[in-house]
Amino acid sequence: MKHTVFIAIVSALIGFCTASQANISVDPAGLTSADQTVDFESVPLTQNDSVTNQFSSFGVAFTGAYGNPDLSSLLPNISGNRIGNFQSGIGESLLFTLDFASDLGQAAFALVTAEGTTTFQALLDGVVVETASFVTSFTDSSNLFSFSNIVFDQIAIRVESFDRAFLLDNLQMVAAVAAPVPEPETWALMLAGLWSVGEIARRRRALRKQR
């Protein structure tokens, strides 16, 4: 019985740790389902328009973003209106963030850059919860980046390339799901298991002293 309880507790802890692992990755399909999708077509955007809260009805605002109408249909997973971190003929913004109105559990979007390295940070209440970097370009079709297994309310993007510019499109968002509160039976099982482990250790120490 004690052995069974111990195994149950270890399995539960392993499951908890696995579920808590953060993940920023390249996802060829994006999210299979999303609460909100922003393709940047619902609001007219002209070249170099500052994009801040025009899409707040979708639950997202932006810092350092500018409109970029469809100038090329040759970019992978990018079509129609999109936003970027630069103003043509003026320069790029080094601070670019997606600011979400509520906590998210998942997000994904397409992004292209000049050949370089792009670093993504997911933050919650201003604290970084996950960071990842990828080689990015204008031609690589593996350019759908997803965030999952973490809770966040902001994403920051930084590009290291010759011009530090990027374009972003097709933003998908999924709200965070509140973690379930353990049932009383679960707490009882865990406490019983911890007591059993302690009791086994106590008996082993007593046996050593008797010898």
Task: Please give the domain boundaries of the chain with CATH numbers for all domains.
Answer: 22-175 (2.60.120)
**Predicted pLDDT at 181:** 55
Kindly report, residue by residue over 46-98, the tens digit of the pLDDT.
Answer: 889 999 999 999 999 999 999 988 766 689 999 889 999 998 877 888 889 99
CA-derived radius of gyration, the chain? 24
For residue 61, the one-letter residue type is A
For residue 39, is pLDDT > 50? yes
Kindly report, residue by residue over 141-177, the tens digit of the pLDDT.
Answer: 999 999 999 999 999 999 999 889 999 999 999 999 8
For residue 74, list its beta bridge partners. Answer: none
Average pLDDT along the chain = 84
Write down the pTM of the prediction.
Answer: 0.75
